């Protein structure tokens, strides 16, 4: 609810007025709580980390600017996911992500096995600079969406079917061979759409090194997009936020409500962690 909604609700329920300004001052009591949450110690190692951003309009210096809320979800060695942090800043950039990742290190994170990311330019460099051993998987779902949006409706169904042969291949070689086939078939018409697959193949193909159970976890950032949908639902009545703190308060409270239900491990986690223990033996042996 907006501060004005809360003010109106109190008047309806209890018959006395509490100004929106007073509501804002009261909810500012959350800020030290949020600060403690943002600075809480984290696990030394995470098996998977998902990184993405969601955008909001914020009033700043008398004008409306678009701000990014950077969201990080981590999966620990027990298969439990949690929101590691939310950071409000300028529109999504590799420089800001570098600061976010350094914040994780300062809170005790020593290693991340796999990071799933969107297509931000410079993201790879930011991760390599802070966690150089981390394997990076670019979100396949984002990639498909970005590819298809340049393909007209008359070709989209057949084009999407051919694309599917790339990311559902049994192994990386077959996937790349299928990519070559798709380029040979559609390249004359839609090479601009397919160029990104070639350019970023080293990030798109990481998941081929794992079994289907691990692939399903890491090949997309949909886990964060699901959380982002809850954020949008909670903030849909607020087209413009008065400041960054107002964004953070809304997202923090939504996060606390959503994560109360995050008590179950990922499906078939014993098989997943067993596979990771073999592939990352030197990095996991002290934690299992």
167 and 28 part of one domain: no
Residue that wins the pLDDT comparison between 120 and 138: 138
**41's tokens:** 């110690």
For residue range 29-77, list pLDDT tens digits in order: 999 999 999 999 999 999 999 998 889 999 988 899 999 898 999 999 9
82 in the same domain as 21: no
- 58-90 per-residue burial string, b: 16 or more CB within 10 A, e: under 16: beeeeeeeebbbbbbbbbbbebebbbbbbbbbe
Query: 15 and 102 share a domain?
Result: no
- Order of strands across the sheet with 81-89? 81-89, 63-75, 45-60, 111-117, 135-138
Based on the fold, state whether residues 185 and 277 are members of the same structural domain.
yes
How does DSSP classify residue 118? -
Q: What are phi and psi of 2, to 5 degrees?
A: -75, 165
Q: 19 and 160: one domain?
A: no
- Both 31 and 93 in a single domain? no
Q: Can you give the residue range of the structural domain that contains 6?
A: 1-39
Same domain? For 27 and 114 the reply is: no
Same structural domain, 190 and 116 = yes
- Its pTM stands at 0.90
pLDDT of 250 reads: 92
> What is the distance between the alpha carbons of residues 283 and 111, in angstroms, rounded to a whole number?
8
Q: What is the mean pLDDT of residues 150-164?
A: 94
Q: What's the pLDDT at 97?
A: 83
Buried residues in 268-286 as b, exposed as e (16+ CB within 10 A): ebeebbeebeebbeebbee
User: Do 8 and 111 lie in a common domain?
Assistant: no
Rounded to whole angstroms, the Cα distance separating 135 from 128 reads 9
d(CA 283, CA 288): 10
- What pLDDT digit, counting tens, does each position of 10-28 carry? 999 999 888 888 888 888 8
Q: Is residue 94's pLDDT more than 80?
A: no
Q: Is pLDDT above 90 for 248? A: yes
How far, in Å, are 23, 41, 115, 188, 225 from residue 220 at the CA level? 39, 27, 10, 29, 9
Instruction: Report how far residue 110's alpha carbon sits from residue 231's, in angstroms, rounded to the nearest whole number.
Output: 29
Question: What mean pLDDT do residues 259-272 have?
Answer: 93
The pLDDT mean for the chain works out to: 92
What mean pLDDT comes out for the span 204-221? 94
How many other β-carbons are positioned within 10 Å of the β-carbon of residue 130?
Answer: 19
Residues 35 and 74 in one domain: no
- pLDDT over 90 at 110, yes or no: yes
3-state helix, strand, coil in the chain (%, to 5): 55, 15, 25
Least-confidence region, from 51-55, 109-113, 245-249: 51-55
Tokens of 110: 């020593």
Q: Are residues 28 and 148 in the same domain?
A: no
Torsion of CA 59, 60, 65, 69, to 10 degrees: -80
- CA–CA gap between residue 60 and residue 42 (Å, rounded): 32
- Report whether pLDDT(241) > 80: yes
Q: How far apart, in whole angstroms, are the C-alpha atoms of residue 55 and residue 241?
A: 11
Q: What percent of the chain has pLDDT over 90?
A: 70
| Co-location of 141 and 28 in the same domain | no
How far apart are alpha carbons 181 and 278 in whole angstroms?
34
Q: In the predicted model, is pLDDT for residue 196 greater than 70?
A: yes
How many structural domains compose the chain?
2
**pLDDT number for residue 92:** 65
Which of 20, 67, 74 is CA-nearest to residue 42?
74
């Amino acid at each position: 609810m907006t501060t004005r909604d809360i003010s109106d609700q109190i008047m309806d329920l209890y018959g006395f007025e509490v100004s929106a300004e007073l509501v804002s001052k009261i909810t500012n009591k959350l800020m030290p709580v949020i600060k403690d949450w943002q600075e809480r110690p984290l696990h030394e190692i995470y098996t998977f980390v998902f990184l993405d951003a969601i955008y909001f309009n914020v009033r700043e210096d008398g004008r409306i600017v678009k701000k990014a809320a950077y969201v990080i979800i981590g999966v620990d060695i027990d298969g439990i996911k949690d929101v590691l942090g939310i950071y409000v800043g300028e529109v999504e950039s590799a420089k800001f992500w570098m600061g976010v990742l350094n914040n994780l290190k300062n809170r005790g994170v020593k290693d991340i096995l796999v990071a799933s990311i969107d297509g931000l330019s410079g993201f790879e460099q930011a991760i390599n600079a802070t966690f150089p051993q981390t394997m990076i998987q670019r979100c396949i779902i984002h990639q498909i969406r970005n590819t298809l949006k340049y393909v007209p409706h008359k070709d989209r169904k057949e084009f999407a079917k051919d694309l599917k042969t790339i990311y559902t291949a049994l192994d990386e070689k077959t996937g790349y061979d299928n990519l070559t086939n798709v380029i040979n078939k559609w390249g004359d018409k839609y090479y601009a759409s397919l160029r990104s697959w070639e350019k970023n193949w080293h990030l798109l193909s990481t998941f081929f090194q794992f079994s289907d159970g691990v692939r399903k976890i890491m090949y997309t950032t949909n886990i964060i997009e699901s959380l982002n949908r809850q954020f949008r639902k909670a903030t849909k009545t607020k087209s413009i936020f008065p400041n960054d703190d107002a964004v953070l308060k809304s997202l923090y409270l939504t996060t606390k409500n959503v994560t109360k239900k995050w008590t179950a491990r990922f499906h078939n986690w014993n098989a997943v962690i067993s596979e990771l223990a073999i592939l990352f033996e030197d990095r996991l042996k002290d934690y299992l």
